[in-house]
Amino acid sequence: MSAAPAPPSDTPSAFTYDRWRHGGWYVLEVRYPNGAIGCVSRNYPDRKWRIVCDRRPGDITYRSRDAAARAEYQLARAQHADTSTANSPAPVDNSS
C-alpha cells in the first residue's frame, strides 16, 4: 500500500511542465490528495489558460500557463487542508 502524497508546502517559484496528449500541460509540482497530478491548458476556442479539471463554478481563466499552474497549486493545497481537517479527530469535551 502506498502512502498518501504529502501536502504541498509553500508555492514554488517556478513550475515544471510535461506535455499532455490533449494539448495541455501536466504541472509536476501539483498533486491532489487523491494522487492526481495538475494539468493546465489553453486548448479552447478563446485560447485562454484554464485548469483542466477545475470543478469550481464559473469559467475561470488565466493570462499565462504559470498563472494557471500557480492557481491550481493553491487549489490542490486547499484540498489537502480540507482532507487533513476531515481526517482529524473531533475535539473531546472533558468539561463534565
Structure confidence by residue, pLDDT tens digits, 27-60: 999 999 999 999 999 999 999 999 998 999 999 9
What's the whole-model pTM score? 0.76
Contact 76, 29 (CB under 8 A): no
39 assigned to some structural domain: yes
Among left, alpha and beta (phi > 0; psi -120 to 50; other), residue 58 is left
Closest to 53 measured CA to CA, from 35, 72, 70: 72
The average confidence (pLDDT) of the chain is 84
For residue 69, give its domain range. Answer: 33-83
Q: Scanning the structure block, which residue is given the C-alpha cell 472533558?
A: 94
19 assigned to some structural domain: no
**3-class DSSP state of 70:** helix
Q: What pLDDT does 41 receive?
A: 97
> Is residue 17 domain-resident?
no
